[in-house]
Structure 1
Amino acid sequence: MAASTRSTMRILSPRLQCLRQPPSPAIQQVRCLSARYSNPSKRGFSAAPARPPTFLDASTGYGDEASGVRILRDPRVAEEERRQYHFRRMRYAGMGLLTSMAALGVIISNINLDDLEQSAKQKKGGLQMEASDESNAKFQGKEVHVIGAGDGKRIVAQGAGEEVELVETGTSSVPHFPKTIFLPTDPESKGASGAGPNAPANPGNIENQEEYTLVGLGIRTVMWIQVYVVGLYIRTKDITSLQSKLIHHVNPTASTLVPNEKEDLRKKLLDPAESREIWSKLLEVPGIKTAWRVSPTRNTDFGHLRDGFVTGINKRTQEARQLSQGKDTEYEAEDFGQSIRAFKGIFSGGKAPKGSILIMHRDRKGVLDVLYQPKPDGSGRQEMERLGSVPDERISRLIWLGYLAGDKVSSDATRKGVVNGCVGFAGRPVGSAETMIS
């Protein structure tokens, strides 16, 4: 028994001696941390100094100096970290360089030298001058004059005994649109208009016989880039019909709208669902004759214009499919696809320089005629050319709805301009607007 006890003590003796020794600094630190986190009142925080990338000194390693523990890093790992670090910096620098070059290219491509020249002329001598450059001083070769000031001012282009009344567009690239234009008649209405051939608004073209009045206009932009000025015109004879339909949509018994009813009409024309309903009725065939007048603010081509129009058509067809809740629409038919291809074929090629004129005309039956005129110089030698026609009324209807109705129209500014014009017509007694266009 005594022998076994002595052998047991010999085995336990080293262990007891180890327990009697004071704890190492590392163990004391662990106990201190455990006590700190177990007792909230003793918790503290001290931010560790920022450590540089570990690959900066791979030979010394890293660790806790208080505990004396240090882990040596593998040089291959440090080298890989170094490579990844510099690769990330190069990638970020390259992305920044490409972004800066792209932004610079966009800015340079959108600098309008005419605007800069006009601004310099306006600032010269500290004076603000009206119509300081050629584009503002002339319209189709005629001198532009501003008569009066404020809301009552009139802008007219005068020359060779002719006078054309203008409206401002809001951009110096295409500063003015005519308040009235003359477009070719169709056989059923030929000679019915009071406007004769060789009209002052567009001299030299004997086909221009029917007068159209501007309803409203706006600037189409893509992101922040101005693409073209576009205005909606209605045949002057059809203004009475437009007035009647707009007024009766708000008040079936009224002959004109009072201020609160005009605001109600404005809200309806800006609402996606209500505007779709109103313009779908206004564009029913047979019906009124309207036209869009498009004038690019920068040099472009027919392909770019075509792509914009087709995008508007696609948006409205998608919208119609969503509203049908899975049912087939009139746009699923094969003949509609053929009409789309015919419309694209009209814009098969050619340039559309800044200031040129593209007319998309919709007759009573919805037939779309596309006319083009190079930038007029007032000489009467640049006649309007007919590019083509699409008999399918769905094409013209969708283009019109793309600017005027539904959600996300092609140009918010254009829709607002047309809405203001419609509200102005509806605020006059039915039949009075044809004889008092202002």
Structure 2
Amino acid sequence: MKPPCSLARSSLLRIPTTPQPCLIRQCPTLRPSPLPSASLLRSRLCLQQSRRTFLKPSTGPSYRAVENLNVDRIRAESQNYYVRRRNFLLLGAALSFTAALGSGYMLVLELTKPKKFDSGGAVPDPFSTEAGSKRKTVVHDAQGREIVPTGNSTVPTFPRHLELSTGGGHTAKEQLDGGVEYTLVGLGVRTVSFLGIQVYMVGYYIATPDIAAIQSRLVKEINPIATTLVANEKEELRQALLDPQRGEALWSAVLADVQPRSVFRIVPVRDTDFHHLRDGFVRAIQARSSQGEHRADYADDAFGVGMRDFRALFNRGRVPKRKEMLLCRDAAGRLTITYDDGEHGNAVVGTVDEERISRLLWLNYLAGSKVASEPARTSIVDGIMEFVERPVGTVATQVL
């Protein structure tokens, strides 16, 4: 039998609605007093159940979850949670994609950035008027030939000199031998689209015996009585060559007056074909022949025939990467295209006698507001600066 106090306590837990005098008489510690309300007892019970002890953690009342259960509210909270979660995931995915795209774009810009052709230190040049000028890095391959690094992994080097036998020599010996040495002036990579996709490496070569005439013409353009240019005059010439209008006029005068023999060496860095190269060349020629006040100079039938002959030269197949194509311009302005497929040697593809075709094609790399390869144009201008800082006539014997 339970003690009277226990009975009274259990009776209180059952929340009696009327006083029980028998229990009060059996338990003298109880005093007749008004019984607490049901809500007050319930709050006391919750307080006792939630009281934390050393060995028992506090636990909340279990009946509250049942009393506060609201299916609509729970559904709304669950939906809001998953909506917020989805939005955060979409935001994270968008930021990750943007970061990856930006990193890839910066990587492409870094890989396609034109490389400086120097050895990293200032090498004194006995022919230079400036102290501490830098020369292009020239190394030797296994056969002992001089080569110039390009900064491209697919086409790592370009030869410093080319020996061509396409004819058109100025002297009787050159016309008899048919072999002319060409010296590299500058090179760069041709890219397309905003992603900077590399297409081919291009290098500009000038016949070594014709460099002195180009030196003289460019020096006289800045200082008519000078044989070399000093620092401020070199900077003036550089700005003139980089200016779209003045640079195009200056190079047009050089090609018309000096008539230097020159070559553009093109080596693809990815597999392409003749039709793709032809489309780029034709678009550049047509764009330059249809703009400006001189477009009437290219409206005659002879120019149209020259364009037709030029297109016909490229009715061929594939051009694998690392294969060499040469665009050669002789003293008369005749264009000769050669191609080395790696099996039959450097063979002539064909010629175009119309001088304006080769002139516009050359200007597409050398001058204007938009050139085929800005790194190549900048490198060519740097090479020209190395020419004009030396006395006229010394480059042919001490090239670069």
Shared fold (TM-score, shorter chain, > 0.5): yes
Query: C-alpha distance in 2, partners of 1:343/1:350?
Result: 16
What amino acid does structure 2 have at the position aligned with 1:307? D
Among candidates 278, 285, 291, match of residue 313 of structure 1: 285
Among candidates 168, 184, 187, match of residue 165 of structure 2: 184
Query: C-alpha distance in 2, partners of 1:284/1:318?
Result: 20
In structure 2, what is the equivalent of residue 349 of structure 1? 316
What SS class does the counterpart of residue 216 from structure 1 fall into? strand
Q: Does the Cα contact within 8 Å between 1:195 and 1:210 map onto a contact in 2?
A: no
Residue 299 of structure 1, CA deviation: 0.8
What amino acid does structure 2 have at the position aligned with 1:383? G
Query: C-alpha distance in 1, partners of 2:393/2:315?
Result: 42
Matched, 1:241 2:213: yes
Q: What is the CA deviation profile of residues 259-284 of structure 1, one whole-angstrom value per residue up to 9, with x for unaligned ones? A: 11101100000001110110011110
Residue 158 of structure 1, CA deviation: 2.3
Query: C-alpha distance in 2, partners of 1:178/1:264?
Result: 30
Query: C-alpha distance in 2, partners of 1:192/1:297?
Result: 37
Residue 318 of structure 1, CA deviation: 2.2
Gaps of 5+ in 1: 1-99, 116-146, 197-206, 376-380
CA change 1:316–1:165 in 2 (3 A) is: same
Among candidates 390, 397, 400, match of residue 435 of structure 1: 397
Q: Does the Cα contact within 8 Å between 1:212 and 1:235 map onto a contact in 2?
A: yes
What SS class does the counterpart of residue 372 from structure 2 fall into? coil
What SS class does the counterpart of residue 297 from structure 2 fall into? coil
Q: Which residues in structure 2 correspond to 1:183-222 (within 5 Å)? A: 183-186=164-167, 189=170, 192-193=173-174, 209-222=179-192
Among candidates 340, 359, 372, match of residue 339 of structure 2: 372
Q: TM-score, normalised by structure 1?
A: 0.59
CA change 1:214–1:253 in 2 (3 A) is: same
Residue 323 of structure 1, CA deviation: 2.6
What SS class does the counterpart of residue 414 from structure 1 fall into? helix
Query: C-alpha distance in 2, partners of 1:373/1:360?
Result: 12
In structure 1, what is the equivalent of residue 328 of structure 2? 361
In structure 1, what is the equivalent of residue 156 of structure 2? 175
CA change 1:261–1:194 in 2 (3 A) is: farther
Query: C-alpha distance in 1, partners of 2:146/2:176?
Result: 16
Matched, 1:291 2:263: yes
In structure 2, what is the equivalent of residue 278 of structure 1? 250
In structure 1, what is the equivalent of residue 141 of structure 2? 157
Matched, 1:252 2:224: yes
Q: Does the Cα contact within 8 Å between 1:286 and 1:366 map onto a contact in 2?
A: no
What SS class does the counterpart of residue 230 from structure 1 fall into? strand
Query: C-alpha distance in 1, partners of 2:175/2:313?
Result: 31
CA change 1:333–1:195 in 2 (3 A) is: closer
Query: C-alpha distance in 2, partners of 1:429/1:305?
Result: 39
Q: What is the CA deviation profile of residues 157-205 of structure 1, one whole-angstrom value per residue up to 9, with x for unaligned ones? A: 123xxx2111111211101001100111426547624997xxxxxxxxx
Among candidates 310, 325, 331, match of residue 298 of structure 2: 331
What SS class does the counterpart of residue 192 from structure 1 fall into? helix
Query: C-alpha distance in 1, partners of 2:376/2:220?
Result: 24
Query: C-alpha distance in 2, partners of 1:192/1:232?
Result: 24
What amino acid does structure 1 have at the position aligned with 2:243? D
Query: C-alpha distance in 2, partners of 1:193/1:248?
Result: 28
Q: Does the Cα contact within 8 Å between 2:202 and 2:264 map onto a contact in 1?
A: yes
Among candidates 347, 351, 355, match of residue 385 of structure 1: 347
Query: C-alpha distance in 2, partners of 1:411/1:306?
Result: 16
Query: C-alpha distance in 1, partners of 2:368/2:386?
Result: 21
Residue 211 of structure 1, CA deviation: 0.3
Q: What is the CA deviation profile of residues 330-355 of structure 1, one whole-angstrom value per residue up to 9, with x for unaligned ones? A: 21112211110100100001211110
Query: C-alpha distance in 1, partners of 2:272/2:141?
Result: 26
In structure 1, what is the equivalent of residue 380 of structure 2? 418
Among candidates 215, 240, 264, match of residue 236 of structure 2: 264
Q: Which residues in structure 2 correspond to 1:127-146 (within 5 Å)? A: none
Q: Does the Cα contact within 8 Å between 2:186 and 2:381 map onto a contact in 1?
A: yes
What amino acid does structure 2 have at the position aligned with 1:288? P
Q: Does the Cα contact within 8 Å between 1:195 and 1:211 map onto a contact in 2?
A: no
Larger Rg: 2
Q: Does the Cα contact within 8 Å between 2:278 and 2:314 map onto a contact in 1?
A: yes
Query: C-alpha distance in 1, partners of 2:122/2:210?
Result: 27
Which of structure 1's runs of 4+ aligned residues deviate more than 3 A?
147-154, 187-191, 193-196
Q: Does the Cα contact within 8 Å between 2:169 and 2:175 map onto a contact in 1?
A: no
What amino acid does structure 1 have at the position aligned with 2:249? E
CA change 1:246–1:314 in 2 (3 A) is: same
What SS class does the counterpart of residue 409 from structure 1 fall into? coil
Instruction: Count residues in correspondence.
Output: 278
Q: Does the Cα contact within 8 Å between 1:256 and 1:430 map onto a contact in 2?
A: yes
What amino acid does structure 2 have at the position aligned with 1:388? G
What SS class does the counterpart of residue 333 from structure 2 fall into? coil
What is the percent sequence identity of the aligned residues?
41
Query: C-alpha distance in 1, partners of 2:148/2:167?
Result: 28
Q: CA RMSD in A?
A: 3.0
Query: C-alpha distance in 2, partners of 1:195/1:262?
Result: 38
Q: Does the Cα contact within 8 Å between 2:248 and 2:367 map onto a contact in 1?
A: yes
Residue 154 of structure 1, CA deviation: 3.5
